[in-house]
Amino acid sequence: MTRRVAILGAGPAGLAAADAALTAGAEVILLDEGERIGGQFWRHHEQLTDRRMQHQHARFAQLRRAVGAATVHCEASVWRVDADRGIRVHALLGPADASGREAITIDADALVIATGAHDRALPVPGWTLPGVITAGAAQALAKRDGATIGARTVVAGSGPFLLPVAEGIALAGGSVVEVVEAAGVGAIARGWGRAPWRLAAVAGKSGELAGYVGGLLRRRTPYRFGQAVTRIHGVGGVEAVTVQRVDARWRPIPGTDRTVECDSVALGHGFTPRLEAAIQAGCDLSTERFVVVDDRQATSVASVFAAGEITGIGGADAALAEGAVAGFAAAGGALDDRRIRGALRARTRMHAFAARLDTHAIRPGWTSWLDDDTIICRCESVTRARLDEYAAASSRAMRLATRAGLGACQGRTCGRTVETLTAAGVDFDRRPVLSSIRIGELARLHHAEHKEQE
Amino acid sequence: MRIAVIGAGAVGAACALALTEAGAEVIVLDRVGVAAETSSRCEGNILVSDKGPGAEAELAILANRTWRELARRLDGDRMPGQPATEYEAKGGVVVAFGASAGVLADFAATQRAIGIRAVPVSAAELRELEPHLSDAVEAGVHYPDDAQVQPSLATQAMLARACRLGAEFRIAEIIGARHAHGRIIGVETPDGVIGADAVVNCAGPWAGAVAALLGGRLDIRPRRGVILVTTPMPQRVFHKVYDADYVGAVGSGDAALQTSTVVESTPAGTVLIGSSRELVGFSAEQLLPPLTEIAAKATKLFPFLADTMLLRSYFGFRPFAPDHLPAIGADGDVDGLFHAAGHEGAGIGLAPATGELIAHAVLGSPAPLDPAPFLPTRAGLRSAA
């Protein structure tokens, strides 16, 4: 009998999973919340997107053709995943703000969770000014709409992701004043060798990263290491930033401040995996809070597989390889099958690249650039001082007293930062319902099931 | 006299406060922290409306008065790290559909007989109290004394006040007890023994397990409850509004899922929607049936809710006593051991009165009402165990 595989997320990992599962003979149902498939990496618009920002476009085109054989639901809000008595996925179809969305329930033999990651921005005094966005948002704006947030942008944070963001802003017509990387030259030399774009050759990433650095050089954009934006200035909008040298623990070094004029800032300090669906399905997490998987990308829950950033931040190439393995295994394929050999090799290679991303991991000293009145939870305007006041309470008590993480984003933006500042496991990503749903939509499921029983 | 209070939920915090105010040396122990579990996962009800004549109603009437005064005291003199209780005497409106209107009217009459203000309201008056109520609702009863606190904040406030008066709060898990001559003389934690002249078990749904660790006996079980929270909106619900079938569900001992609608606004602008009751142990599985059934019933009461967005939902475990009365007082077997648990969904409301009863049991201070019906040694609790 044909196995039915449901896949959550149509980014690189989910698309590769769908392709591989189809190859292995499964029936595939692919769900994604976006307007169209591709995820953040291949975020695009048929008319507005600049082709130069579509990396590995040929691969995307191939995957897009391949998933023509799958049932694909875009604009699908998956709101509940149950895996304790067989796999059942509940979703609503249509724009999230539309009424009258169609409810679907999918029963499957296997599930691949490929929900990706949010980009993360650390708070900085002044980061709530208009003109400050996350690096991921700047990239999405450039890719999807060919637009920029301002005319002169400082790109700051950590990790190689800052490079394509700077490139995207430039291609969309903006000017990048500086790229500010918190990891120091020493740390980068230890992590990557002398130059990241050269050492990334291990993973076959050299061309891509060298291209970005070449772009920076051509446009005479400084690429600073061991520095951070520690304050953003302006009245009613961004006017300048303070850039400071930071030590190996990312503590700002007094007396090293420079003022850099700009009208916008893109902040990116790595990524936070989107674990909610995996947690709801019951998957075990590692102490670093990634989904634990084995060689087959199988999680701790029977018939549930995971791939991409939720299993470890590794970028699109790692996601493609893991996705292919996950999809193939979910469809019942064996790892010694020659059709999956290429993906297995690529996965090994890309994990070596991913390990090097640790060089850019957030160091604890960043908290010393916060002021007492720096807003940490933006939805509810909760300041650092307010969090400190309740740092000794239990996590739920702290949240309810400060309201941190109780606003519209439900801690998706501030969660990890609140955990850092209060030294508590807040567990924001454990929730009974995964996405926005109307009370009436919940009620309809009750009525439908009630009728079924009658 | 040194007293160890186990559990920093609403009942533990209230007991610690009452004991400290009565002059005892108190140490509060919790394995996670203040208001980490049930008291941060409930609605903060301070109700008289759901109590029929009996011992619990007497306790509820007393606690209702006590809360009014306690909230004023706590909120009038706050310190850093002590949140406001968000006490609000908003009143409750209980409504009935169709034939149950007669049952509700009869129930309200018995309540009036014991001094609860229960005012029958006509369909027109109902619309004045709650303009967005479904047209299908024809009768109701208004309970002006029903009130609410934000339960987590109120718990934190009570504990903060107790600590300010000299109580100590420590995060520690209880792993055993020390006894001498049939009397408890301390509790064991992974970091060592904490000596005490008396121990008060306020461990909520875990109170049965803690009682056993301490050598005592108490039959308290977890009963799961799910709550839905909408996104903030301009206020459209003005009282605690609930379906008359809530009263039946509270008193039920049925293990299967029961839901009854409770809807109210919070100061943050969200609407809380409850409630469900299930005896499923400490399980996190099979949450969809309660979530969807609560949603279905709530939209029947307030049709506008159908189009509002769910912001989050959560579930907690209430301490369920088989005979539906809290267990407050001395353990039957171990001298120096006391229990204050089993309040199920009424723990927040009954907490201050429970604290006074514990101060009476442990220190001999005046009892605010007859403690006998609540004693853990009562037949109803013993026979069920």
Do A140 and A67 lie in one domain? The reply is no
- Region B66-74: mean pLDDT is 97
The three-class DSSP label of residue A441 is helix
Q: Suggest the residue from B292, B307, B311 to mutate for an interface test with chain A (most A CBs closer than 10 A).
A: B292
Residue A162 lies in a domain: yes
Residue A362 lies in a domain: no
CA-nearest residue to B303 within chain A is: A440
Do A127 and A190 lie in one domain? The reply is yes
For residue B384, what pLDDT is reported?
47
The pTM of this model reads 0.90
For residue A204, what pLDDT is reported?
58
For residue B153, what pLDDT is reported?
96
Q: Which helix or strand (DSSP H or E) is residue A316 part of?
A: helix A315-330
For residue A34, what pLDDT is reported?
93
Residue A284 lies in a domain: yes
Cβ proximity of A78 and A31 under 8 Å:
yes
Cβ proximity of A398 and A408 under 8 Å:
no
| pLDDT bucket at A3, cuts 50 / 70 / 90 | very high
For residue B385, what pLDDT is reported?
44
Distance of alpha carbon A103 from alpha carbon A80, whole angstroms: 12
Residue A156 lies in a domain: yes
Average pLDDT for chain B: 93
CATH number at residue A137: 3.50.50.60
pLDDT for A449 beyond 70: yes
Do A257 and A126 lie in one domain? The reply is yes
For residue B87, what pLDDT is reported?
96
- Region A24-48: mean pLDDT is 90
Residue where a domain terminates, one of A325, A356, A387? A356
pLDDT for A312 beyond 60: yes
B80 touches chain A (CB under 8 A): yes
Do A388 and A437 lie in one domain? The reply is yes
CA-nearest residue to A411 within chain B is: B312
For residue B248, what pLDDT is reported?
65
- Region B92-106: mean pLDDT is 88
Residue A364 lies in a domain: no
pLDDT for A202 beyond 70: no
Do A143 and A59 lie in one domain? The reply is no
| pLDDT bucket at B174, cuts 50 / 70 / 90 | very high
Any idea what DSSP says for residue A143? I
Are A439 and B273 a contacting pair at CB < 8 A? yes
Split into its structural domains, chain A has a count of 3
Q: Give the CA distances from residue B255 to residues B127, B222, B223, in Å, rounded to whole numbers and listed in that order.
A: 36, 11, 9
Do A250 and A346 lie in one domain? The reply is no
Do A131 and A183 lie in one domain? The reply is yes
User: How many beta-carbon contacts under 8 Å exist across A and B?
Assistant: 116
Which residue bears the tokens 């009258």? Answer: A100
Residue A361 lies in a domain: no
Average pLDDT for chain A: 91
Burial of B129 (0-12, 13-18, 19+ CB in 10 A): middle
Do A135 and A240 lie in one domain? The reply is yes
Residue where a domain terminates, one of A324, A356, A388? A356
How would you list the strands of the sheet with A258-261, edge to edge?
A227-233, A240-245, A258-261
Q: Compute φ and ψ for A432, nearest 5 degrees.
A: -70, -25
Do A264 and A279 lie in one domain? The reply is no
Are A443 and B295 a contacting pair at CB < 8 A? yes
| pLDDT bucket at B253, cuts 50 / 70 / 90 | low
Residue where a domain terminates, one of A221, A238, A269? A269
For residue B249, what pLDDT is reported?
63
Q: Which domains does chain B have, with CATH numbers?
A: 2-67+151-219+323-374 (3.50.50.60), 92-144+222-320 (3.30.9.10)
Q: Which of residues B256 and B337 earns the better pLDDT score?
A: B337
| pLDDT bucket at A207, cuts 50 / 70 / 90 | low
For residue A144, what pLDDT is reported?
84
Chain A closest-CA separation from residue B199 CA (Å): 23
pLDDT for A450 beyond 90: no
Cβ proximity of A55 and A167 under 8 Å:
no
For residue A190, what pLDDT is reported?
78
| ipTM for this prediction | 0.90
pLDDT for A8 beyond 90: yes
Do A264 and A200 lie in one domain? The reply is yes
Q: Which of residues B330 and A450 earns the better pLDDT score?
A: B330
- Region A294-312: mean pLDDT is 97
Integer distance in angstroms from the first to the last C-alpha of chain A?
Answer: 30
Condensed to tens digits (0 to 9), the pLDDT of residues B281-329 reads 999 888 999 999 999 999 999 999 999 999 999 999 999 999 999 999 9
Report residue B292 as tokens: 């969807």
Q: Which of residues A153 and A40 earns the better pLDDT score?
A: A153
| pLDDT bucket at A354, cuts 50 / 70 / 90 | confident
Integer distance in angstroms from the first to the last C-alpha of chain B?
Answer: 32
Do A76 and A150 lie in one domain? The reply is no
Condensed to tens digits (0 to 9), the pLDDT of residues B176-205 reads 999 999 899 999 999 999 999 999 999 999
pLDDT for A297 beyond 50: yes
Are A394 and B292 a contacting pair at CB < 8 A? no
Do A47 and A111 lie in one domain? The reply is yes
Chain B closest-CA separation from residue A405 CA (Å): 11
pLDDT for B86 beyond 50: yes
The parent domain of residue A216 ranges over: 121-269
